[in-house]
Structures are given as C-alpha cells and as structure tokens.
Amino acid sequence: MKSYIAQRLVIAVLTLFGMSVVIFVLLRMAPGDIVDVLFSAAGYVNPSEKQAILRELGMDKPYWRQYVEWITQIFHGDLGKSYRYDLPAWQIIRPLLPVTIELAMLSTIVAVALGVPTGIVSAVRQDGLLDYAMRVFSLAGLSMPSFWLGMVIILALVSWLAWIPPLTYVRPTENFWLHAVQFMLPALAVGYRSSALIMRITRSAMLEVLREDYIRTAWAKGQGEWAVVWRHALKNAILPVVTVVGIEFAFLIGGLVVTETVFNLPGVARFLVEAILWRDYPIVQNLVMFIAIVVILSNLAVDLLYGLLDPRVRYA
Amino acid sequence: MRSRMLPSLVALLAILDVLVGGAPAIGQNPPASPTPRSGGVLTLAQREETPQGFAIHETSTVSTTWPAMPCFSNLVLFDPRKPQESADTVLGELAEKWSWQDNYRNLVFFLRKGVKWHDGQPFTSKDVKFTFDMLREAPDAQGKLRINPRKDWYANVVNVEAPDPSTVIFHLKRPQPSLLLMLASGYTPIYAAHVPPAQYRTACVGTGPYKLKEWRKGEFIEYVKNPDYFVKGRPYLDGLKYVIIKERGTRVAALQAGQVQAAFPGDTSKTTAEQLRKAVPQLVVTRAAENVNENVIMNTKKPPFDNVKVRLAVAHAIDRRALNQAVHQGGAAIGVSMPSKPWGIWGPAEATLATLPGYGKPAEEKARAKKLMAEAGHSPEKPVKVEIVTRAIAVYVDMASFIVNELKQIGIEATLKQIETAQWHAMATRGEYQIGANLTGIGIDDPDANYYENFACNSPRNYTFYCNEQIAAMVDKQSGEIDPRKRLAIVLDIQKKLEEEGVRPTLDWRVDNFAQWPQVKNLVPHNNFYNYGRLQDVWVDK
C-alpha cells in the first residue's frame, strides 16, 4: 500500500511538472498581455511605456528564464506577485481556497445525498412509476445548467421574498446561519445537477448487479429487501459511483465559475477567469496548479477507497 | 525680481478673486430638505473590481472613479447637487477660491489651510504642484505615472508654481477656460507628494471625506468617515461599502432586495429600470447622461475608408433612431460628437442635427449612401467586403450587429470580428483594423476634453488617424475663446465639419437610468457619470 502511494505520488509530481509547462506555454500563446489590459483601462497603448512596464514586471525576460524563476520560487514557498494587484499571489489566492473547497464539498454532499438514494430506488423499482419520476427528476437536473438554476433561485427569492443571500462572504465565525444559507443555495443548484449524473450511474450499476446470480441467491435465501439491496447489491455497485463522485468533486474545484459569479462568492473559479482575462500569469499559473493538485489527490483518494470498499482490489 | 514681487501679487490676487472667481466652496451650500441626519453606512453596487485600485490618474474608467472618488479631493469639483455640469457649477474643494489672471493665462488657486491627508500629514501647495507636474510630465516632476491617459489635458500648462503653502499658480501658454472644468472632473484628484504614485494601486491616502478601511479583492471596498475632513459636519455617513457584483442579474436582484441602496452608474438600462419600477415602485430612477457615446471608427489610412465618400456613405447608412430603438429600446440620446441639450450644452439643436449625414429620413439617407458608394466606384454587384471589429462585450456587439445589417443595405458586406479586451485598444491604437464599433467616454462635457483626446492628430486615442489642420486650428481657436457664445459657434462648426468628413460618426449618447432607494438623499446623478462620486453630502434617511 505504501509503495503504491509512493508510486502514485511520483507520477503526480511528473503530471504536475507537465501541467506547469503546458499552462505556462498556453498562457503566453494567448494574444495580449497584462500591459495591454492595463492600457485598455486608459484607452490607448503606448509602445515605449508598454516596454517599460514589461521590464518592471520581469516580462521582458526570455520565456525559459521566466519559467525557471517561477518554479524556483514555488520550491521556496513563494508564488510570485500578482501583476494586477501588485501583491504577493498567495495573499490573493489564500482567501479563495476555503470558499471553493467548502462549496465543492457541500455540492458533492448534496449530489450524493440526492443521487445515490434516488438511483437505488429507481433501479429497485425499475420501470415503475417511481422509476419514471426519478428519471425525469434526473433528466431535468442534467438539462438545467447550474448557473441558470442559480439565477432562477436568486430571481425567485427576490420576487417572492424580496430577499437574497448575502453578497459578501460571511465567515462561519461571524454568523454561522447566514454562512450556511449563503452556501446552501449554490450547493443545491450545483449539487442537483451533479446528482443527476450520480443517480444515473447508480441506477445502471445497481441494475447490472441486481441481475447477478448472487443477488438471486440472496433473494432465494429469503433475505429481506434492505439486506439484499444495501448489503449485497449496493456494496458491489458502488465502485463506478465513487469514481464519478471523485471526478465530479475535482471538476467542481475549477468548474464553479458561473455559480460563484451568480451567487457572488469569492472563490477560485471566478477569480481564475478574471485572472485569465487580465493575463495575470502568476495568479493563473498557481491556481491551475492548485486545481491540478486537487484532481490528482481526489483521484488518488478514489483509488484508495476502492481497496476499502472492495476487498478484491489489491495494490501492487 | 519675480520672487520679490510674488507675495504682493498673491495678496492682490486674493482681493481680486472676490470679484472674479466668486464661486462658493464645497459644503457652503444650504443642505437640501429634509434636514440631513448623520450616521449609517451606504452600500453601493460596483460592477467589477476597480481596475487599478485607487489610481484614478492611471485609468479612464468609471469602474475606478466611482469607488475611488470618496477618498480624494480635487482643487475644484462640480457641485454635487446640480445635475447639469458647467463652468457655473464649479465649486472650490481644496481650493477655497480661485482667480483667472492675465487674460486667462494664469489660474491662481488659494488653498484651504489646516487640511490633513488621511495619514495625518499636512496638505500644502507642494502636493498640488507634485500632482500636476506628474500629470503633464514636467521634466522636473517628482512623481511618475505608469500610464498617463490624460496628459493631453494639460498640454497648455507651461508651469505650476507654488509660491507659498496655500497658493498655486497655473501658468498657461494661451487662455483655456476649459482647464477649470478639467480640474473639476472626478479624473483630477490631488495625490499626496509624500506617497509614491504606485501605492495608489493598492491603497489610498487622500484628503477626501472617507478613509479606506478595507479592500477585499474581488469582494468589496469599504470606507469609514474621515473625522478630520476639512468640511465641518461632513460627511454625513459613517461609511460606504461598494459591493463588487460581476453578474448583472445579481446586481439588479441586489438592488431590488435592498442589499445595495444605489446602482452602479451607467448600469441601469431603460428596460431594467422599467422592471425595477414594477417590482419596487418606491425606487427612485433618474435619467442622466453618461457622457459616453457609441461611434464608428474608420481607419482613414486604409482602403476603402481612406475615401471620404465611403466614410460618408457609412455615416448616411446607419439609421440612428432605429439603432436607438433596437439596441436601447429608445433609451439613448441622438447626437453628434458633442451631446445636445438636455444631455449636454455643446451639441447642435434638433433642426441642425437633421441636416447632418445620417440624421435625415432613413430612406433618403440610404439612397444618398448608395449614391456615394457608386461615386466611389462600388456597386451592389461589386460589394465592398470589410471586417468590422468590436470589443467582445455585449454592449459593443449589439451595436456592431446592427451596423453590419445597415452596411449590407448599401453594398458593404461586413463580417463581425469580436476582439477581447486585452487586445482591443492595442489593436485600435496600432490601426490594425478597417472599421469598428466603439464606445467613447469623455471625462467632462467639454470640447477640449473630447477633441484633444479623440480627434487631435497625434493623440493615441485618435483611432481613425484622421488629421485635418483646418479642424485642428478650429479646435485650438475654440479652446482659447473666452466668450462662451463665440466658443459655442466655433464648436458647432467643428461638429458640422467632422460630420461632413465622416470622421468617427457618433451613433448615440448613452443615457443611464440611475436607480437608488428613496432613503438615500442628496445622491444626484450628473450629466456625466465620472464626476459625482464624492458622496460627502449623501445621507440616509432611516
């Protein structure tokens, strides 16, 4: 097990190195740079002034040198300086992380809480009224983009209650209930969409397992529905569900752009888009690396969960 | 000799100014009824992060002036309570009094005494000299801006002199009455000489009514009342909070729910205002000009727009009224390069407007446009194919799409190309386009600010590269004209000439429907959204 984790971590380091090169190159291939954006707020671009600012920001150096400097800084625990804010990148990024991680976790919890039970019920009551109702429910979830659902929630609240959740981040230590309300609504909007996918995967995995001989044997032995479904069927059907949950969580870390924008939450995804538009390379590079790390770690966690959930899985 | 004479000159000017520059200083106006109450925090919507922090001198956007103005003071400012800005509404702010001297060649300011910067340092004439030397990039300037978008505003200033701590003299090459208006713009705060200009990108040390409390990046900007503000009893509010809300729908919902008490200037379209009024009838909506126009930029250095007939054909082809209906639901104002009454004071009257290219009857205008195209050697069988560029932002794209359709009707096949913000101005400045749909904001409703910035031969913002010495001479002439009537006549001639040359045809002037809750008092939108953000007189009636 330990050697497996070590092996995966080595691969993770190589993946991160590859990611760092890709993001560094892609960013510089995009037309325009931070100085063009700065000048755009002034309505013109002056080539000599532009050159001076590029020099000031260290962007006149050869690309390979900029890359080496960035990686060296990371190894020294320094994420560089935001071009836009003229502040250390870590100072900008740090407050964003808890917001996005909390929202992604809550959304995943909502998705699992909605998706897994409905998937099970739908499979067990296949082609029954309940199954059709669940399938419509999940299809609706897949069809409705979460940002649209988010905006509908906001508009419904303001129209009916003349109230919307707070638009500046409320820390849990400041006011826990307000904080919970602030996060629950976007988590519901995002979680509902993700739950649809989880429900469909759960349903199809369960249907497959429910047709297995050992399930028929369990029924024949006179075991109750609860025991057959939960103990025998779900345990064997859960692996693809865990995989999807892991992928969804990793996706949510960087994919909450519009939800964070609609609910005005100061998270990673919204900030990342802003930073890309501003060509704020230090912020973009480090945020992308953060997202890559989360993806790698959640994949690793899913793989390790396999071993816990299915004793047949062995790590070499 | 000069230095010995200066104190007596200053004393003499102090006496003269009572007769000459007798406008009241800020805070001396009687408060509007009902009686203002102190206290409370005003929450305002902010459509995006302020692009350069509080460094107003390094930007040209209301996204910076609106949330940064409360921190600063100018020498003079447009009266916050008067919606129509003009030379008559200029009040003293850091300057208690001022006086034009030597036939408008010297402008002397007598500064308030005892004013303190937010960090406790005393404010003196050195700060004023520091600011304007930096802005006009004087050889001996103590400060330097990274980007200096309004350097042209001070091209006529030869020297800024600070003979004593409370007097500043602007020496001009020639008379320029507009200088006072430029100094009254929200774009002209005084920076502290002891603070590096770069620091304003991350923090704010001003003399204004509010002190910066916190700027949480991407979330909000918060101010608290400045207890040492130089106007006693102001500001009324304990603080201000600008909540950054990127999504327009959420901003509207926030206003509707009362989470913000005032909209962002320029953000409320006619349709949105109607929706808001329906949902919250008590909301106060005020129609106010933004001093932002929508225009067509044509590169006069590249075919086919190097041909005046083709440019004029474009000007004739676009039906301004139909554009206003289609894109703004009739909410914009029709006008040429300067806004007409009631939105501005320099634009031509309706009757004159109707005689200019593009403002007549649509069918006749289209026929004229086709004739001009034919004269330029183009026919429907042989259409001109061009690429029309615009910024990849909804307000630009809507306008550009309309233009594409209009041009098609006169034999110009235009394909729309959207340019990201990061490239837009670089592309326009370098002239890497044929024709484009553009928006232009002007800091004050004044010909100097507009023509030197957007039409002068060497201005970096003259995206069309049109250069006409005759028009340049007319611009200089109006700039130096002291008699307002004579000046207006020249400005009207300039506008006619520009339209006849098909230079950057204006399509409309945007009009805001500024929305605020009724308990917000004394927040009066001006005919220019860059200039009413100080908020020292604003109070909340709870």
Provide the residue-wise pLDDT of chain B in tens; the chain has 542 residues.
344 444 444 444 443 443 344 445 554 444 455 799 999 999 999 999 998 899 999 999 999 999 999 999 999 999 999 999 999 999 999 999 999 999 999 999 999 999 999 999 999 999 999 999 999 999 999 999 999 999 989 999 999 999 999 999 999 999 999 999 999 999 999 999 999 999 999 999 999 999 999 999 999 999 999 999 999 999 999 999 999 999 999 999 999 999 999 999 999 999 999 999 999 999 999 999 999 999 999 999 999 999 999 999 999 999 999 999 999 999 999 999 999 999 999 999 999 999 999 999 999 999 999 999 999 999 878 889 999 999 999 899 999 999 999 999 999 999 999 998 888 988 999 999 999 999 999 999 999 999 999 999 988 899 999 999 999 999 999 999 999 999 999 999 999 999 999 999 999 999 999 999 999 999 999 999 999 999 999 999 98
Q: Which residues of A touch B254 (CB under 8 A)?
A: 164, 167
Q: Is residue A188 part of a domain?
A: yes
User: How far is the alpha carbon of B301 from chain A, nearest alpha carbon, in Å?
Assistant: 18
Same domain, A42 and A118: no
Is B262 strand, coil or helix? strand
Q: Is ipTM > 0.95 here? A: no
Same domain, A147 and A206: yes
Same domain, A59 and A184: no
Taking the model in full, what pTM does it have?
Answer: 0.91
Report yes or no: A33 at the B interface, CB cutoff 8 Å.
yes
Same domain, A105 and A150: yes
Given a contact cutoff of 8 angstroms between Cβ atoms, the answer to whether B314 and B435 are in contact is: yes
- Cβ contact (<8 Å) for B60 and A43? yes
CATH number at residue A158: 1.10.3720.10
**From the candidate CATH numbers 3.40.50.620, 3.30.930.10, 3.90.76.10, 3.40.50.720, the one assigned to the domain spanning B9-213+517-540:** 3.90.76.10
Q: Is residue A253 part of a domain?
A: yes
Domain count, chain A: 2
Same domain, A119 and A155: yes
Please tell me the distance from the alpha carbon of residue A220 to that of residue A218, in angstroms, as a whole number: 5
Q: Which residues of B touch A45 (CB under 8 A)?
A: 425-426, 429-430, 460
Best of A27, A37, A40 to substitute, by most chain B Cβ atoms within 10 angstroms, is: A40
Best of A28, A35, A39 to substitute, by most chain B Cβ atoms within 10 angstroms, is: A39
Question: Which ranges constitute the DSSP H helices of A57-175?
Answer: 63-75, 89-93, 96-124, 129-143, 146-161
Same domain, A155 and A81: no
Considering only CB atoms, B249 lies closest to which of A86, A95, A151, namely A151
Q: Is residue A271 part of a domain?
A: no
Range of the domain at A210: 97-266
- Cβ contact (<8 Å) for B216 and A95? yes
Same domain, A83 and A122: no
Q: Which residues, including other chains, have CB under 8 Å from residue B331's CB and lie 6 or more apart?
A: B269, B270, B271, B324, B511, B513
Same domain, A282 and A225: no
Between vectors from CA B128 to CA B124 and to CA B131, what angle results, nearest 5°?
A: 135
Q: Is residue A127 part of a domain?
A: yes
Token pair for B369? 């446009």
Same domain, A194 and A241: yes
Separation in Å, CA A287 to CA A187, A259, A268, A271, A274: 22, 18, 7, 9, 12
Could you state, in order of their start, the residue ranges of all structural domains in chain B?
9-213+517-540, 290-511
Same domain, A138 and A49: no
Please tell me the distance from the alpha carbon of residue B513 to that of residue B289, in angstroms, as a whole number: 9
Q: Is residue A272 part of a domain?
A: no
Is A133 strand, coil or helix? helix
Same domain, A121 and A189: yes
Q: Is residue A228 part of a domain?
A: yes
Q: Is residue A250 part of a domain?
A: yes
Buried residues in B169-205 as b, exposed as e (16+ CB within 10 A) = bbbbeebbbbbbbbbbbbbbbbbbbebebbbbbeebb
Best of B63, B144, B221, B247 to substitute, by most chain A Cβ atoms within 10 angstroms, is: B247
Q: Is residue A239 part of a domain?
A: yes
Same domain, A184 and A122: yes
- pLDDT, tens only, A126-177: 999 999 999 999 999 989 888 889 999 999 999 999 999 999 999 999 999 9
Q: Which residues of B touch A95 (CB under 8 A)?
A: 216-217
CATH architecture of B290-511: Roll (3.10)
Given a contact cutoff of 8 angstroms between Cβ atoms, the answer to whether B394 and B418 are in contact is: no
Q: Taking CA atoms, what residue in B is nearest to A265?
A: B219
